[in-house]
Amino acid sequence: MAVIDRVLGRLVTRGVLEVVHPDGRVAVHGTTETGFPEVRVRFADAKVARNILLDPRLGAAEAFMDGRLIIERGEVMDLVALLRLNNRWDHGRRIDRPTFARRLRNRFAATLEAINRQASAKANVAHHYDIGNDLYERMLDSEHMQYSCAYWPRDGMSLGEAQEAKLAHIAAKLALAPGLRVLDIGCGWGGMAIYLARHADVKVTGITLSEEQAALARERVSAAGVSDRVTIELIDYRDLASRGDSFDRIVSVGMFEHVGVPQYETFFRACANMLAPEGVMLLHTIGRFGPPGKTDAFTRKYIFPGGYIPALSETLAASEKVRLMQTDIEILRLHYARTLREWYARCAAHRDYIEKEYGARFYRMWTFYLAGATASFESGGMCNFQIQYISRREALPITRDYIAEAEERLLAAEFRES
């Protein structure tokens, strides 16, 4: 039996994975079980197995991207889900202390991970966000164009409704009032800034390092009729802090993943210095349930160079150094999995366009990324953090009632407008 068959046989015991080898031999792993996919793949050449064994995620991804790992039954979403479901992060088994060698490897990997110097930050952002607004317009919700985790308080919501709920959820935690100055770090295509200006009558400065995002964000701001209240700048948060600007509220959604561990303290110090004495900050980021880790080779090479998913421990440790007080921490578990499945479905629906404009290899790479991310939130160790900060303890009410009340008002207002 080939080495790859022994490895896959140990890995897949629930659900079915059929592997057709280059010589025509078929190996069947696992057994049929409700809730577990059944997938059939073909290895076009002998190098596929070798590449997977050398680096499972990168090797499988590149073989799939190159058309050498061919999925004959099911989709890439099914394949990745099957492999992840057989090795859930929350597996419920006995947890033993990791070996010294493993602890040393983890510490070394975490030390080397995610160095995001200011000089390379713009290039890293451009790699992912400047590939073309047309791709994101087809993948994201048309209402707010949010490239971050939606919020699903009830079943049956559309993606646009869930993103609307996310915006209201965050706005409520910001405790907004008319006329306040708000900074949106990593403003994307302006959806958050537009929403806050419309619904809270605040003045918003949105910043991004993506030229494509900035250009479209300005168009969307103008079309929404809020140009008098929203400004979009192409600037690094560090340069903005050096400029001496001050804000009553700071919000950052889906940007902290690009900061890099060595820059965490710099990020929070910049925010603390820009936040007014009675100010409030809300950080929304992908996070890890477990301790600090590392970014896999596929994601680092093809998707988010310089990116890193933080653990809650290292996030809080950095913010504690600049005397930002954590006043509310919410962990979103399955919300991003639902969001990612919506994005995957929309990309699949626009497959012909994406392949025509970007190429078949890009389409396979992109859907592999979305499938892998979905599996990480459904059965891996990924989640989302929403962390609320203040610099003075009297800045907010001492109970959380104001959040639910504000959220209800915002959603009711949106319902009336629609």
Tens digits of residue pLDDT in 319-350: 999 999 999 999 999 999 999 999 999 999 99
Q: What is the pTM of this model?
A: 0.91
CA angle 301, 307, 310 (to 5 degrees): 135
| pLDDT value for 131 | 74
Neighbouring-strand partners of residue 233: 207
Bridge partner list, 95: none
Q: Which whole number is the average pLDDT over 178-184?
A: 98
With cut-offs at 50, 70 and 90, classify the pLDDT of residue 230: very high
Inform me whether the pLDDT recorded for 289 exceeds 70: yes
Q: Residue 111: is its pLDDT beyond 70?
A: no
Among 228, 224, 174, 188, smallest CA distance to 204 is for 228
- Is the pLDDT score of 35 beyond 90? yes
Please check whether residue 48 is in contact with residue 63, taking contact to mean a CB–CB distance below 8 angstroms: yes
pLDDT class for 113, splitting at 50, 70, 90? very low
pLDDT category, 107, cuts 50, 70, 90? low
Dihedral Cα 83, 86, 87, 92, nearest 10 deg: 160
CA angle 211, 311, 304 (to 5 degrees): 30
**322 and 268 in contact (C-beta within 8 Å)?**
yes
Token pair listed for 53: 């064994």
Q: What is the per-residue pLDDT for 121?
A: 61
The whole-number pLDDT of residue 132 equals: 79
Q: Which pLDDT does position 62 carry in this prediction? A: 97
Over residues 274-287, the mean pLDDT reads: 98
The band of 96, judged by pLDDT with boundaries at 50, 70 and 90, is low
pLDDT of residue 120: 62
Task: Transcribe 302-346 into DSSP letters.
Answer: II-TT--PPBHHHHHHHHHTTTPEEEEEEEE-SHHHHHHHHHHHH
Mean pLDDT for the stretch of residues 288-311: 92
Residue matched to tokens 């407008």: 417
Structure tokens at 16: 């079915």
Distance CA(349)–CA(326), nearest Å, equals: 42
The whole-number pLDDT of residue 417 equals 61
Q: pLDDT tens-digit profile of 184-221?
A: 999 999 999 999 999 999 999 999 999 999 999 999 99
CATH entry, 118-417, from 3.30.470.10, 3.40.50.10470, 2.60.40.1930, 3.40.50.150: 3.40.50.150
Q: Is 75 exposed, middle or buried (0-12, 13-18, 19+ CB in 10 A)?
A: middle
Domain positions in the chain:
3-85, 118-417
Q: Is residue 114 pLDDT above 50, yes or no?
A: no
Distance, in Å, from the CA atom of 227 to the CA atom of 222, rounded to the nearest integer, reads 5
* DSSP assignment of 153-217: SSTT--HHHHHHHHHHHHHHHHT--TT-EEEEET-TTSHHHHHHHHHH--EEEEEES-HHHHHHH
Per-residue model confidence (pLDDT) at position 413: 78
- Residues of the chain with pLDDT > 70, as a percent, come to 89
CB 295 within 8 A of CB 304: yes
**Per-residue tokens: 264:** 């965490």
Distance CA 91, CA 87 (A): 7
Poorest-confidence range of 90-94, 207-211, 286-290? 90-94
What is the model's pLDDT at position 104? 47
User: Is pLDDT above 60 for 74?
Assistant: yes
User: Which tokens in the block code for residue 394?
Assistant: 């009297």
Decide: helix, strand or coil at residue 141. coil
Burial, 28: exposed, middle or buried (Cβ in 10 Å; 0-12, 13-18, 19+)?
Answer: middle
Alpha-carbon distance of 137 to 38, in angstroms, equals: 32
Average pLDDT along the chain: 92
103 vs 169, residue with greater confidence: 169
State pLDDT tens for residues 120-161: 666 666 666 667 799 999 999 999 999 999 999 999 999 999
